[in-house]
Structure 1
Amino acid sequence: MAYYRQQGSIPKTRHTLFRADSGDIYYEELMGEEGFSSDSSLLYHRGIPSAIVGARVWDLPDQTLTPNAPLLPRHLKLHDLFTDEQAAETDAVTGRRLILGNGDVRIGYARVGRTSPLYRNATGDECVYVESGAAVVETVFGSLPVAQGDYVIIPRATNHRWVIQDGDTARLYFVEANSHIGPARQYLSTHGQLLEHAPFCERDLRGPEGPLLVDEQDVEIYIKHRGSGPNGLAGTIHTVPEHPFDVVGWDGCLYPYVFNINDYMPITGKVHQPPPVHQVFEGNNFVICNFVPRKVDYHPLSVPVPYYHSNVDSDEIMFYVDGDYEARKGSGIGKGSVSIHPGGHAHGPQPGSIEGSLGAEYFDELAVMVDTFRPLDLGEAALASDDGKYASSWTGGRWING
């Protein structure tokens, strides 16, 4: 996120010798994007950040993808993926399950009840939506307390872990990019400031609280990185001699941050507004939108639910978080559902939804949408949670073959 923050102790001039009161040298690390030609931060470590004393292979959770063939709209029931007993033994790194993916982005889900190992995603940024529960995301930049409704943006290669209190669980929806994730470009000035017409601003963003210093030796870090495995991914576990949470200070424009969906100011209009007005973040070849409780259209002949639409360049993935999504009534979709509307299939409101919405002044609905500009394949979690009948929901269940 391109605005400046500073935490902890840093020297007056960058790239100069910086010592502790004891005389020990602090080691400066430049963490930068796009070949050090974009956003960056300087971190000052007590130990050498390159040090490794061991390494072994990490067998990633199942990354297998299956084509959506024959091409179908689908309804996934994510709350069926984890029982209470499974959630108690699941963490946000080793326990996340793959729902959908392509060469640009992977979407996953987990219900977690225990603290994760230290983790670094070296393939791209992560946007994690907290569906329910609470956690503390401890990072090399500091701590981020998070709770229901928070988006957590974690830059590529940030060492972090998800800390869950004993007895608690959290539901997490993961959007993993093979690129960087940031606010929608149409809301940014030339220099990266959120503009006056944007539906959120810098005041709404929460940065890390720190420094966070931990004294431990021979610590393991789980790393997801590019490789020859499924989806071009591989895993490695590094053992480092000193805990990576050894940063006494940092400054710059690259760091993890949090934005809560309830702080999003929806853009409404006289007639139904198209999906781009709901955009919040974007990555390479995909966008993230959110649909929040809002007043709806005020033309005397307005139809508040969406018109039927064929998003010819995109797959549309909607995660239904809360409320009563007017356009999907009668389809079986509810809280914790995901709908897959693939490019090449026109979709829209269920039968009767148009009539039911007429005269409505307010929609109480909360959903997170990911639109991708390349087709998505199905992960193992999609295959395990597909209700098998959504495609026939516009015809009252009528289905000719199969």
Structure 2
Amino acid sequence: MPQYHQLGAVPHKRHTQFRKPDGGLYSEQLFSTEGFSNDYSLLYHVHPPTQIIKTGTPVEVQPQIAEEKMLRHRSFEGFNIQPAADYLASRVPVLVNNDVHISLAAPQQSLADYFYKNADADELLFVHQGSGTLHTQYGKLPFAFGDYLCIPRGTIYQIQFDGADNRLFIVESFSPIRFPKRYLSKYGQLLEHAPFCERDIRTPKDLGTHDTKGEFLIQTKKRGVLYPLHYGTHPFDVVGWDGCCYPYAFSIHDFEPITGRVHQPPPVHQTFEAHNFVVCSFVPRKYDYHPQAIPAPYNHSNIDSDEVLYYVDGDFMSRKNVTRGMITLHPAGIPHGPHPGAVEKSIGKEETGELAVMVDTFHPLMLTKQALEIENEGYTMSWAE
């Protein structure tokens, strides 16, 4: 996140004395996801952020792999994931590899009794249903349908939902999630040709400093294990921070589609990138305007990447029997394209109202046990005329 941002009170110079009204020192914390070699923020706590007073029994949460190798198109009914009251219990991994874990979640209750920290991965939460507020030590981020919440690894957070009917599509990245390099100047500003700009990025507001002692449980995930760590002070005791590493929100509705006279390739929809995968946003847009244009996407060979498409809303003219929350997996090694009849049907259409999130991975994905439980049987043969 290259934008510099400041919230609350910070000293004039970093790593210098910054005192409380009573004369004591605030506790400075450097927060970075790549050591001292990349973007970082400096946070100033009322109390040191290191005061562990108790530890609990670790719990294994590593995804259970059902199929490590396969070569056929797959489809899954994402909304068949059953709702669960607890936020962490509701998170269900479906497709995973060493670079990224893709999960679904249907939490019914806010995360209020404990805090959560993913010490392994940046998290990209796409809000399919529901609204609320993401609470972190950086402040508050209100969210609603269509928002991406980008949360750097190590961020302590709670989620407050406005209701019980919530659906999330979650991407966990074991490398930092960035904006595509081709959208950025050499100094980190989003360029004129980018499909969004800094005005579209929503930063945390209202620190709401909690100067509270007691016992505060932070469920911390590391290498597939959840560690219950109890701290003696509230983790949101920050009086100010500044820097370039922090959570932010970006709405898919603010993504401005790039169109042309003929069909544009998927990279024009790219929104984020990480090591060995990209995330794209398909949004309502005008179709191609060449007089002989074919709006439906052409058949293409997946040789170097697995393609995951998460269907959010609208009409998808290239696929049959699409439902909200459906996931399709088109693995590397075999071509795919529009279903039979979709090409002719698309000719003459002027626009689409589709909304979807795509994840392309450059290493193969594995299927979890939970993925097989929500699979649409027969999808592989759905191209047969």
Partner in structure 1 of residue 308 of structure 2? 317
Aligned to 2:343, what secondary structure does the other structure show?
A: helix
* Letter of the structure 1 residue corresponding to residue 7 of structure 2: Q
- The equivalent position to 2:172 in structure 1, one of 142, 167, 176, is 176
Residue 26 (structure 1) aligned with residue 26 (structure 2): yes
Residue 353 (structure 1) aligned with residue 336 (structure 2): no
Change in Cα spacing, 1:337 to 1:216, as seen in structure 2 (3 Å) is farther
**Residue pair 1:61, 1:95 contacting (<8 A) in 2 also:** no
Partner in structure 1 of residue 229 of structure 2? 238
* Letter of the structure 2 residue corresponding to residue 10 of structure 1: V
Greater mean deviation of Cα atoms: 20-29 or 275-284: 20-29
Residue 257 (structure 1) aligned with residue 254 (structure 2): no
Q: Distance in 1 between matches of 2:379 and 2:298?
A: 19
Alpha-carbon distance, 1:66 to partner: 2.5
Q: Distance in 2 between matches of 1:201 and 1:130?
A: 20
Q: Gaps (5+ residues) in structure 1?
A: 227-232, 397-402
Q: Distance in 2 between matches of 1:278 and 1:155?
A: 23
Partner in structure 1 of residue 222 of structure 2? 225
Aligned length: 382
Q: Distance in 1 between matches of 2:381 and 2:318?
A: 15
Deviations 1:186-242 (A, max 9, x none): 10111111101000000000000121323351100011112xxxxxx2221110000
* Letter of the structure 1 residue corresponding to residue 247 of structure 2: P
Residue 100 (structure 1) aligned with residue 100 (structure 2): no
Q: Gaps (5+ residues) in structure 2?
A: none
Deviations 1:72-123 (A, max 9, x none): 11110011111xxx44x231x2320001000000000111111223111111
Q: Distance in 2 between matches of 1:77 and 1:48?
A: 45
Q: Distance in 2 between matches of 1:326 and 1:156?
A: 37
**Residue pair 1:62, 1:98 contacting (<8 A) in 2 also:** no
Q: Distance in 2 between matches of 1:39 and 1:315?
A: 30
Partner in structure 2 of residue 366 of structure 1? 355
Deviations 1:30-77 (A, max 9, x none): 112322111011000011111111112332446112225542111100
Q: How does 1:1-400 map to 2 (within 5 A)?
A: 1-61=1-61, 63-67=63-67, 69-82=69-82, 86-87=83-84, 89-91=85-87, 93-116=88-111, 117-165=114-162, 167-214=163-210, 215-226=212-223, 233-328=224-319, 330=320, 332-396=321-385
**Residue pair 1:114, 1:164 contacting (<8 A) in 2 also:** yes
Moved over 6 A (4+): none
Q: Distance in 2 between matches of 1:248 and 1:156?
A: 21
* Letter of the structure 2 residue corresponding to residue 55 of structure 1: T
Q: Distance in 2 between matches of 1:69 and 1:29?
A: 43
Deviations 1:112-162 (A, max 9, x none): 111223111111211110001112110010011111000000001000011
What RMSD, in angstroms, separates the aligned Cα atoms of the two structures?
1.3
Overall identity of the aligned pairs, in %: 46
